[in-house]
Structure 1
Amino acid sequence: MPLNAGESGYGSAPGGGLAGAAGASETAPLLMPEPDPDQEPGPGHQWKPMSREALEAAAGGPGWRRVRCYLVALFWLAWLTMLAVAVAIVVVSPRPVGTSLKWWQRTLYYRLEPDLSPGAQAQGPGGVDGVCERLPHLRSLGIGALILEGVFIKRTSFSNLTVATKNLETLAQIQRLLIESKKADLKVMLDFCNAEPFALQDVAGAPDRQSNHSGKVQPALRFWLEQGVAGFVICDTDASYSGETLLEWRGVLEEFSLQGEERIVVVKQTRDVLHPPEGSGRSNFTLVDVVMKSILPFSDERLSAQEVANAIETQLQTQEEDVWPSWTVGGEAPHHLKKLLLVLMMTLPGSPAFEHNVENGPTQSKPLAGGLTHGETNETADANGRKAKTKSSAAALFTTLSHSKTREEALLYGSFTLLPFNTSSNFSSSSNSSSAPILAFLRSWGCVEFLVLLNAGPEPHRLDPAWAPSLPERGVFVASTGMNHLGPTSLHTLSLQPNEAIAIKLFKAGNYS
């Protein structure tokens, strides 16, 4: 009888490969056979690590390894090349380079004619005492230099000079003004325009009037430079405006400039065209530092609004780059265009020079009293109130423009672009009557642009939405003649009122400053 006969036969043992497993049998093999290499492994098969030769064979051989190394090296080389190209583009691409401006290029000039008469006149508002009291206020408004005019002009045919060594009191007044100006951080320049040579010589204490012109003037230059004068102003019609004289002046000025701040020469242009100094043999103006120009032509009568607009347009179209200009108003303009000219002077390339008698200019206004004074009517009080409000608005306009002028690169040394948007197709008027043209120009630096719009006519104008497609659409108001525009604005909705000037700071898309 076989040992495994029957389910419960005697001597039966469990099968299935494990002791005690159901259905096990003693006929199960005790050793697993070797797997067939051609047969796929089963679920419980353990993979063995491949040898190097097997790996290279599976990867396609040693050649593929070199190809992969070449591809990786090519990737990094291409990445480094693109990085180098990007850096090179940033380096060589045109970008604004900061210009190091000198003090006479950054400053605002104030032309002043003090009353140097001896006696009680010095106590008045135009005397030295009154001028000294106003110096801190002028400095707070942004004024950086004073130009003393009328000091060396011959007053009468009898050579009654304003300044002479015989008049020690007058000389002491000027020296006091120099000291007080230095305390207020204001530089002082002397106006030598139309001055007699012996007037300068008298101040310097050189009694020999028979020597040449340079011999008369050089002692005076040294005398005033030792007193702390920052420079001198001459006219283009003076005998001093010659190559030989200016070369000698430059030597004296450079000698004193080495001891401190630079001393300069300013030429006041009185002709329509400024010619180079006679005998200089040069086509440029390197012998002078600043050329003082007038925006309006000199006239015995008050100019009309149309004449003012034409003069402004002529100046905007004839910008020169070889000289540093200093702008003055020049001719007599209508009162309602005073603020428009102020905005123009502050936004043109160069340094503005304000006259001492400019209306609504940098003067200190006193507040009104609380009640009516003796003999004052309500109409007089209202007139005084309007006058005080006008002065306050003018002071706010001047302060805003002066602060913008000193801190905005676009207004300091930015490029100038006259915009040809003064035709009727770009501006719509409420009247068909002829009026002064609308003038516009840009001062650009980097991503910032200042747009200046001038309406010298009597009619309001609204800008055409498609008037300047290349300009940014939005900007922010910087200043206006009425100081009644604040905050952001859109050029598509901008409107110019009669006799109004507006300065707007534009930003290119994605850039803020």
Structure 2
Amino acid sequence: MNKDAEIDMKDVELNELDPEKQPMTGDGQAPSGEKNGSVKVKVPEDEVSFTGLSKEELMQVAGTPGWVRTRWVLLILFWLGWVGMLAGAIVIIVQAPRCKPIPEMNWWNEGPLYQISDAEAFAGGLEGVENKLDSINQLKVKGLVLGPLHSVQADRLSTLNLLEVTPNQGSQEALLGVLKKAHKKGISVVLDLTPNYLGADPWFGAGTSGEVMEKVKAAAERWLDLGFDGIKISDLGAASGFVDWSLLQAAVQGNRTEDDEKKRALMGVVENVSAPEVLELVNTTGVDLVLSDLLSSKSGGVERIRDMDALSAEQRSLGWGLGATQRDQLSKQAATAALIRLYQLLLFTMPGTPVFSYGDEIGLPAGQGPDSPKMLWDLDQEPAEGAVVDEAVEAQRQERQSLRAWFISLSDLRGKERSLLHGNYHPLHSSSSSLAFLRVWDQSERYITAVNWGAAPETMALKLAPTEELEWPTVAKVKMSTDDELSEDTLVELGKLTVGPGHAVLLQFSYKA
């Protein structure tokens, strides 16, 4: 076969349809003469795409008088708007009420103090106290007051050893363990170094004051060097009159500077003195916190509110307790769960630092005689399924649970609200068995405390003195209440507020510019 014939055969093979391009119908050419797999796309012949103005065209337009005027108008409008916004911001800042500066606050002003006078009764000793710090921390307390824990025999000065922990309470190592863990939780620790705490005279009598004060000073220096945050003593009136009183002051408060992140506290206890005498001790002794028994020793609302009125200006140096001065439980004077709630609310909202004894959060019954009451730790233990339940015991357990929740709610609220932390105090009402007062700070929420520990309902006409220049609403909202007739979040009239017997209510209203 010649070459021309071979070329013709190849042309025939190339012109044959590829099997993959055969119509799927298998019966020849695709419709309209189109081969299988081919797609026809119709492109409009007259379609024109917009490409914008060219550089030359833009330059021609930019120089026209109309466009120049437009640019100037836009520029002027921009700057006028900017200046207007700046002027408006300045007017708002100038006319807005200025915030009142926060007063100096120390750690003992920021929350309640919790006294554990007997570590053995509280948790089986200091190691037990360390194990219970998680539970204590839930109470949102800012400080623990421990002791007295030191070794001494009643009225025998020769046995006094302020650096040795009495064996039934634990050991120095256990005490330091409590300190370390408390600090990790943000809780400060104060040691009670009242020398003769088991005897009749806390200072063994005036004739030995020099020797005793020297021992207390040396012990204070030692314990503070180990990291403790303060020292507490009893009978401040007598101690501050000793010649060597300034030595103890210097040991606790010496070398303070404005840059100190945390100050060490000197805390003193006074009993059976009047409000003016407490005020004098605050101003003359130099102590950081004076804990008095005024609330315990006065049972009338008129006397109680008068004392609060006299001391409110020194609230950052004042501690309040009901039984705390004697290291007793609140239940010793508040016999019912309702009264315990009432006094918890009162202590948390008064102008000053609330001080509680261990167990006050659950209404722990006071001890019998000289023995300290054993703390109860089984509140969260529900009865076993199917077990025989003593209904009275179970009701008491649930009541103590409820008391603790009430305590925590109050502690949390006080720590958040400036009016309750350091706000001004204004008396509103008082009678033989009731009182009411207002706490207010600058532009913060305002709070009214009204309590009635009497046996009959008390109707109060709450109003400010005519000289007070504060806004005063006609109604306020119930924030917390022990009275079923005063439900939370309801509005009540301040001109005619009725509080049931043995009940307390905390009212709230907002600041208005």
Normalization by structure 2: what TM-score?
0.63
Once the two structures are superposed, residues 105-164 of structure 1 have per-residue CA deviations (whole angstroms, 9 ceiling, x without a partner) of 113100102346xxxx9xx82422321222112112211111112323734456665865
Distance 1:410 1:264 in 2: 24
The 3-state SS of whatever aligns with 2:137 is: helix
Structure 2 counterpart of 1:410, from 409, 419, 434: 419
Give the residue type in structure 2 aligned to 1:271. Answer: N
Once the two structures are superposed, residues 231-264 of structure 1 have per-residue CA deviations (whole angstroms, 9 ceiling, x without a partner) of 1112235754247534333333345656762111
Once the two structures are superposed, residues 384-419 of structure 1 have per-residue CA deviations (whole angstroms, 9 ceiling, x without a partner) of 332122122212211111111111110111110001
Once the two structures are superposed, residues 27-62 of structure 1 have per-residue CA deviations (whole angstroms, 9 ceiling, x without a partner) of xxxxxxxxxxxxxxxxxxxxxxxxxxxxxxxxxxxx
Distance 2:252 2:155 in 1: 32
Greater relative contact order (CA < 8 Å, ≥ 6 in sequence): 2
Q: Quick check: 1:340 aligned with 2:303?
A: no
Once the two structures are superposed, residues 281-316 of structure 1 have per-residue CA deviations (whole angstroms, 9 ceiling, x without a partner) of x99236111111224345xxxx9xxx3646534433
The verdict on how the C-alpha distance between 1:221 and 1:471 changes in structure 2, with shifts beyond 3 A counting, is same
Distance 1:290 1:195 in 2: 21
Give the residue type in structure 2 aligned to 1:368. Answer: E
Please name the residue that 1:315 is paired with. Answer: 307
The verdict on how the C-alpha distance between 1:245 and 1:195 changes in structure 2, with shifts beyond 3 A counting, is same
Q: Quick check: 1:234 aligned with 2:233?
A: yes
Structure 1 counterpart of 2:139, from 137, 141, 145: 141
Structure 1 counterpart of 2:322, from 314, 329, 340: 329
Preserved CA contact (<8 Å) 1:361 1:398: no
The verdict on how the C-alpha distance between 1:275 and 1:463 changes in structure 2, with shifts beyond 3 A counting, is closer
Give the residue type in structure 2 aligned to 1:366. Answer: D
The 3-state SS of whatever aligns with 2:293 is: strand
Preserved CA contact (<8 Å) 1:256 1:263: no
Compute the displacement of 1:275 (Å). 7.9
Please name the residue that 2:393 is paired with. Answer: 384
Q: Quick check: 1:104 aligned with 2:108?
A: yes
Distance 1:338 1:408 in 2: 22
Give the residue type in structure 2 aligned to 1:456. Answer: W
Give the residue type in structure 2 aligned to 1:269. Answer: V
Preserved CA contact (<8 Å) 1:192 1:233: yes
Compute the displacement of 1:477 (Å). 2.5
CA radius of gyration, larger in: 1
Once the two structures are superposed, residues 206-250 of structure 1 have per-residue CA deviations (whole angstroms, 9 ceiling, x without a partner) of xxx998555433321221011111111122357542475343333
Distance 1:167 1:88 in 2: 61
Structure 2 counterpart of 1:451, from 443, 448, 453: 448
Distance 2:335 2:454 in 1: 13
Question: 1:177-256 maps to which residues of 2 (within 5 A)?
Answer: 177-195=178-196, 212-237=211-236, 240-242=239-241, 245-255=244-254
Please name the residue that 1:54 is paired with. Answer: none
Please name the residue that 1:75 is paired with. Answer: none
Distance 1:439 1:315 in 2: 12
Preserved CA contact (<8 Å) 2:210 2:242: no
Structure 1 counterpart of 2:353, from 351, 354, 362: 351
Preserved CA contact (<8 Å) 1:153 1:195: no
Distance 2:463 2:271 in 1: 41
Compute the displacement of 1:449 (Å). 1.6
The 3-state SS of whatever aligns with 1:129 is: helix
Compute the displacement of 1:338 (Å). 1.7
Preserved CA contact (<8 Å) 2:449 2:506: yes
Task: List runs of 5+ in structure 2 lacking aligned partners.
Answer: 1-86, 198-207, 324-329, 365-375
Distance 1:276 1:295 in 2: 11
Compute the displacement of 1:455 (Å). 1.1
The verdict on how the C-alpha distance between 1:333 and 1:315 changes in structure 2, with shifts beyond 3 A counting, is farther
Q: Quick check: 1:498 aligned with 2:501?
A: yes
Instruction: Compare the two structures and name the one with the higher helix fraction.
Output: 2
Distance 1:344 1:439 in 2: 10
Compute the displacement of 1:174 (Å). 2.1
The 3-state SS of whatever aligns with 2:472 is: coil
Preserved CA contact (<8 Å) 2:428 2:462: no
Give the residue type in structure 1 aligned to 2:188. Answer: K
Give the residue type in structure 1 aligned to 2:318. Answer: P
The verdict on how the C-alpha distance between 1:166 and 1:101 changes in structure 2, with shifts beyond 3 A counting, is closer
Distance 1:214 1:501 in 2: 44
Preserved CA contact (<8 Å) 2:274 2:294: no
The verdict on how the C-alpha distance between 1:141 and 1:104 changes in structure 2, with shifts beyond 3 A counting, is same
Once the two structures are superposed, residues 484-511 of structure 1 have per-residue CA deviations (whole angstroms, 9 ceiling, x without a partner) of 73224232685422111111111245x6
Structure 2 counterpart of 1:507, from 506, 510, 513: 510
Distance 1:326 1:395 in 2: 21
The verdict on how the C-alpha distance between 1:94 and 1:245 changes in structure 2, with shifts beyond 3 A counting, is farther
Please name the residue that 1:39 is paired with. Answer: none
Give the residue type in structure 2 aligned to 1:457. Answer: G
* Range moving further from structure 2, 236-245 or 394-403: 236-245
Q: CA RMSD in A?
A: 4.1
* Range moving further from structure 2, 239-248 or 96-105: 239-248
Give the residue type in structure 1 aligned to 2:355. Answer: A
* Range moving further from structure 2, 342-351 or 437-446: 437-446
Normalization by structure 1: what TM-score?
0.63
Q: Quick check: 1:400 aligned with 2:409?
A: yes
The verdict on how the C-alpha distance between 1:246 and 1:106 changes in structure 2, with shifts beyond 3 A counting, is farther
Distance 2:478 2:465 in 1: 18
The verdict on how the C-alpha distance between 1:238 and 1:161 changes in structure 2, with shifts beyond 3 A counting, is farther
The 3-state SS of whatever aligns with 2:171 is: helix
Question: 1:47-66 maps to which residues of 2 (within 5 A)?
Answer: none
Q: Quick check: 1:419 aligned with 2:411?
A: no
Distance 1:506 1:410 in 2: 11
Distance 1:185 1:465 in 2: 39
The 3-state SS of whatever aligns with 2:313 is: coil
Give the residue type in structure 2 aligned to 1:102. Answer: N
Distance 1:210 1:392 in 2: 46
Structure 2 counterpart of 1:439, from 432, 435, 438: 435
Give the residue type in structure 2 aligned to 1:318. Answer: A
The verdict on how the C-alpha distance between 1:211 and 1:367 changes in structure 2, with shifts beyond 3 A counting, is closer
